[in-house]
Amino acid sequence: MTRLQRWRRALQMAFFILFILAPPLDLFRYDLTRSHFVFFGYTWSLGIDSVIAGQASALEAFTGIVLRGLLPLFALVSTFIWVSWRYGRLYCGWLCPHFSVVEWINGLMRRATGRPSLWERRQLPESTPAGQPRPINRLYWFPLILSIFAFAFTWALVLLTYLLPPAMIYGNLLQGTLTLNQSLFLVVATGIFSLEFLFARHLFCRFGCAVGVFQSLVWMGNRKAMVVGFDRSRSNVCIDCSAACEHECPMRLKPRSIKRRMFTCTECGRCLTACEQVQGHLTNGKPPLLQWVQDECALDVSSRDFGIKPTISRDCYKR
């Protein structure tokens, strides 16, 4: 695993742990029993209840809505839009706890069936881009199914703690005293997540996740945003390649294509790593054919459509 992928995996793991621990540590959650947000241990309220109770004026209520509601929301959304505008689905590929599950299940399914998805038509090569053997072994079905149910139950349980007091939920679970509604939520949510992780995890990321689609739409509006670029001047080197970049892509995209066809790219960089590993002995010390490019260099990917072939600097693919 390259340094880039080690960093990405570390960030994914850290954010997944944060996703699980945020409710019990009162870092962030919404408490249905008290009808307000909890943020870093403090009650996050707009102050409307005080106005209704006659304990605050209309001006104080307006100030609370602006300072505690509109301004934080504006800052969060603005930051998210700016990151998406410049870097695309960076959150998806580097932080999102759902996408980390997608990659984990992809890896196990590839070991069990030779394909990263049940809908994949062809089996992928039984070796890594670095040349290490990765043979198909049907015994991997056991950890695959176990992982799907484990992640599904974890997601259901964690989401429940974002809505109800975590101490109550975990206490009821350990003591076997969950209420009927709590049990129904866990059973139904675990079932839905299990089906999604097994059959439709890629479809959800590509078309069902509002956060992901929003990032893609913003990213597509910026032709100079960071994108995976392909050095077409040396495309002849790809003749001896087994399309390792395509096989490694968790979203099943073709990284050497134009930006419009990479609408759901998560900027995970796995295609770049695969290209660097496979082409290392073919490029005679030259940079890999796939690299992240941005600004004017990105036009080679975003504007190359409908017969348009933009001229870019020769330095775009040098590093």
Do the domain assignments include residue 38? Answer: no
Q: In the prediction, which pLDDT does 49 show? A: 60
Do 125 and 182 lie in one domain? The reply is yes
Domain boundary among 214, 232, 248: 214
Residues 6+ apart with CB under 8 A from 278: 129, 241, 242, 244, 245
39 domain-assigned: no
14 and 123 assigned to the same domain: yes
Residue 193 forms part of a structural domain: yes
On whether both 277 and 302 belong to a single domain, the answer is yes
Q: pLDDT digit of tens for each residue in the chain (319 aa)?
A: 788 999 999 999 999 999 999 999 999 999 888 778 888 888 876 666 655 555 656 666 667 667 776 788 899 999 999 999 999 999 999 999 999 999 999 999 999 999 999 998 889 988 888 888 889 999 999 999 999 999 999 999 999 999 999 999 999 999 999 999 999 999 999 999 999 999 999 899 988 999 999 999 999 999 999 999 999 888 888 877 788 899 999 999 999 999 999 999 999 999 999 998 887 655 566 788 899 999 999 998 998 876 778 888 878 887 6
Q: pTM for the full model? A: 0.88
The domain boundary residue, chosen from 214, 242, 267: 214
Taking alpha carbons only, the member of 35, 20, 7 closest to residue 163 is: 35
Domain assignment of residue 219, yes or no = no
Residues 97 and 171 placed together within one structural domain of the fold: yes
> Residues 142, 199: one domain?
yes
3-state secondary structure string, 277-312? Answer: HHHCCCCCCCCCCEEEECHHHHHHHHCCCCCCCCCC
Same structural domain for residues 265 and 138? no
For residue 110, report the phi and psi dihedrals to the nearest 5 degrees.
Answer: -65, -35
Whether 149 maps to a domain, the answer reads yes
| Final residue before a domain boundary, out of 192, 214, 236 | 214
**Contact yes or no for 244/275 (Cβ under 8 A):** yes
Does 304 reside within a domain? yes
In a domain, 40, yes or no: no
DSSP class per residue in 45-94? --SHHHHHTTSS-HHHHHHHHIIIIIHHHHHHHHHHHHHHHHHSSHHHHH
In a domain? residue 163: yes
Are 19 and 95 part of one and the same domain?
Answer: yes
Domain shared by 230 and 115, yes or no? no
| Domains identified in the chain, total number | 3
Alpha carbons within 13 angstroms on the beta-carbon side of residue 16 total 19
Q: Are residues 146 and 94 in the same domain?
A: yes
- Confidence at residue 67, expressed as pLDDT on a 0 to 100 scale: 72
Alpha-carbon distance of 123 to 217, in angstroms, equals: 32
167 shares a domain with 310 = no
User: 302 with 182, same domain?
Assistant: no
* 203 and 159 within one domain: yes
Residues spanned by the domain of 64: 46-86
Q: Which of 154, 302, 112, 170 is nearest to 224 (CA)?
A: 302
pLDDT for position 96: 96
